[in-house]
Structure 1
Amino acid sequence: MSTSTYSALRAQLATLTTEAFRPELAEIDRLSTLELAGLMNDEDRTVPAAVARALPAIAAAIDATAERMARGGRLLYLGAGTAGRLGVLDASECPPTFNTDPAQVVGLIAGGPGAMVKAVEGAEDSKELAAADLDALGLTADDTVVGISASGRTPYAIGAVEHARAAGALTIGLSCNADSALAAAAEHGIEVVPGPELLTGSTRLKAGTAQKLVLNMISTITMIRLGKTYGNLMVDVRASNEKLQARSRRIVALATGAHDEQIEAALAATGGEVKNAILIILADVDAATAAERLTATHGHLRAALHATA
């Protein structure tokens, strides 16, 4: 990096809220452990309020995402460092929670999978790398691309949004600074600003927590809109282990109030599909009819139940 480029970057970082130095915290290393824990806890209290201020933008982005996904599009997260790891984490939790195909919600981190555990120097500085990563996935106009960057200036995240928008995909830019380049590049800019960090520039702290909360909302509420839940029950849960098998039985019980024998019979008839089992019990239909009605309502259990009334 040339001296002039370094100076320009340093000047840019100095303007960012996420990089701001807080003189009042200059001697926190002299505090007791309990005092430090209390201070961090107080700092974290500012995050939900920052998210609340961005709720209208978040809701608009979710509605647009659900519309694309309802017609077969994918949800793609791209970021570098902590932001990228949070995207990968959110994507990886969708298959067991909502029974999504692993290719339906995807997290990409600058530098590839190895960057999850070890920094890949320079990867975040490449817009071209983001474009190549999206092209490798076969980006389509039905997809939603979420660029994630605490600073809002990370080239990898901005490049992802710019490339996706040019391809006609829906774009969301999630940052933790106001008036960010990332939000400006995206169709839906979400700026959650929880303020300067306890440790100057350590955006894995409040900014990371804020990003996690927003990603929780994007994936969870989108899946609710797509019919992946019935009330607050995860009726599309994939019973891939003993804990989830037990949870499946409990979900059917909570939704129907049926006795154990009836629940076991319904789950056996549907190959363990919770949503279908609930419909069998509540609508008093067989497995084939339950499957047909759920297909007709695009997997929305409540709509399938109303159709039987």
Structure 2
Amino acid sequence: MNRVTEKESNYQDLDKMSVAELLTNMNNEDKTVPFAVEKAIPQLEKLVQVTVDSMKKGGRLFYIGAGTSGRLGILDASECPPTFGVPFDWVIGLIAGGDKAIRKAVEFAEDDTAQAWKDMKEYGMSKDDVVIGIAASGTTPYVIGGLQRANEEGLITGCIVCNDGSPIAQVAQYPVEVVVGPEFVTGSTRLKSGTAQKLVLNMLSTSVMIQLGRVKGNKMVDMQLSNIKLVARGVRMIMDETKLDEETATTLLERYGSVRKAIENSHALK
């Protein structure tokens, strides 16, 4: 395989650059990422569709990864319940080394090919579940082992990687390969590769949730009302959708506790 993620940076003598030069050059590199993601949309479309089909049958979405990739999966999973009002076990992020690895690297945790499936088994895996491996290099043993076992158990598997022809892409049934090229700091895949993975995860989970009916129009009608800002946003959504005044919209939201239910029952106060 061609490990572009490990190729030498296109820039030399970073330690001699001014702050302005560092920021400008990194920004110029970052501008290339969306174009790399665009090329992978046909692959991503297939993964989104099969995920939607599986989740409609009661399946869940699992992300497995190590280091930055694992943290990005956990971030995306953790944002689905407050954004879309879904149960916390609909989208689950797992990282090599366990939860303590979210904040501090756990040495050699990513090298265990058996651990990912052990981590997943704690959730009682179903044939309708989807497992997506996230790994910039496409070679992480934790992810490879997890996807191989998921395949053996009859689950749907996908991946998000940043090298062409990687072992992980060969194992995954639905690979998404976003090749962003050498990193600004040689081999530091928390940069462009991490940005690409975040973009793909945004697109994946948001598209899936919209397809599952968790968005109405362009509004997060099932979002959790967990702070003053979100309550105010919910009131505005109800006002926009129903043309009711702020006081009435607030009353509806307090009564039903959800934007969707408030809108559905707004006729009672008209």
> Same fold per TM (> 0.5)?
yes
Letter in 2 for 1:104: W
1:203 is matched with 189
Following the alignment from structure 2 to structure 1, what is the Cα–Cα distance between the partners of residues 263 and 90? Answer: 25
Letter in 1 for 2:212: L
- Secondary structure, in 3 states, of the residue corresponding to 2:265? helix
1:108 is matched with 94
- Report the count of equivalent residues: 269
Following the alignment from structure 2 to structure 1, what is the Cα–Cα distance between the partners of residues 173 and 240? Answer: 40
Pair 1:20-2:7 in alignment:
yes
1:268, CA displacement in angstroms?
A: 3.4
8 Å contact 1:66–1:222 — kept in the other structure? Answer: yes
1:267, CA displacement in angstroms?
A: 2.1
8 Å contact 2:236–2:246 — kept in the other structure? Answer: no
Pair 1:219-2:205 in alignment:
yes
8 Å contact 2:157–2:173 — kept in the other structure? Answer: yes
Identity of aligned residues (%): 48
Q: TM-score, normalised by structure 1?
A: 0.84
8 Å contact 2:63–2:131 — kept in the other structure? Answer: yes
- Secondary structure, in 3 states, of the residue corresponding to 1:145? strand
Tell me which of 157, 160, 176 is aligned to 1:190: 176
Following the alignment from structure 2 to structure 1, what is the Cα–Cα distance between the partners of residues 121 and 127? Answer: 12
- Counterparts of residues 40-59 of structure 1 (less than 5 Å): 40-59=26-45
Tell me which of 223, 237, 259 is aligned to 1:274: 259
Q: Which has the larger radius of gyration?
A: 1
Pair 1:147-2:136 in alignment:
no
2:239 is matched with 253
Following the alignment from structure 2 to structure 1, what is the Cα–Cα distance between the partners of residues 250 and 243? Answer: 13
- Secondary structure, in 3 states, of the residue corresponding to 2:63? strand
Letter in 1 for 2:264: L
Pair 1:119-2:105 in alignment:
yes
Bigger relative contact order, structure 1 or 2 (CA pairs below 8 A, ≥6 apart) = 2
Following the alignment from structure 2 to structure 1, what is the Cα–Cα distance between the partners of residues 148 and 241? Answer: 44
Letter in 1 for 2:48: I
Following the alignment from structure 2 to structure 1, what is the Cα–Cα distance between the partners of residues 19 and 96? Answer: 35
Following the alignment from structure 1 to structure 2, what is the Cα–Cα distance between the partners of residues 163 and 255? Answer: 47
- Counterparts of residues 26-105 of structure 1 (less than 5 Å): 26-105=12-91
Letter in 1 for 2:96: A
1:285, CA displacement in angstroms?
A: 5.5
**More helix by proportion, 1 or 2?**
1
Letter in 1 for 2:18: S
- Deviates most, 225-234 or 156-165: 156-165
Following the alignment from structure 2 to structure 1, what is the Cα–Cα distance between the partners of residues 134 and 233? Answer: 33
8 Å contact 1:139–1:164 — kept in the other structure? Answer: no
8 Å contact 1:145–1:169 — kept in the other structure? Answer: yes
Indicate the RMSD between aligned Cα atoms, in angstroms. 1.4
Deviations 1:225-266 (CA, angstroms, capped at 9, x unpaired) = 011101110000110222221121112122222212331332
- Secondary structure, in 3 states, of the residue corresponding to 1:127? coil
8 Å contact 1:279–1:285 — kept in the other structure? Answer: no
Following the alignment from structure 1 to structure 2, what is the Cα–Cα distance between the partners of residues 108 and 69? Answer: 18
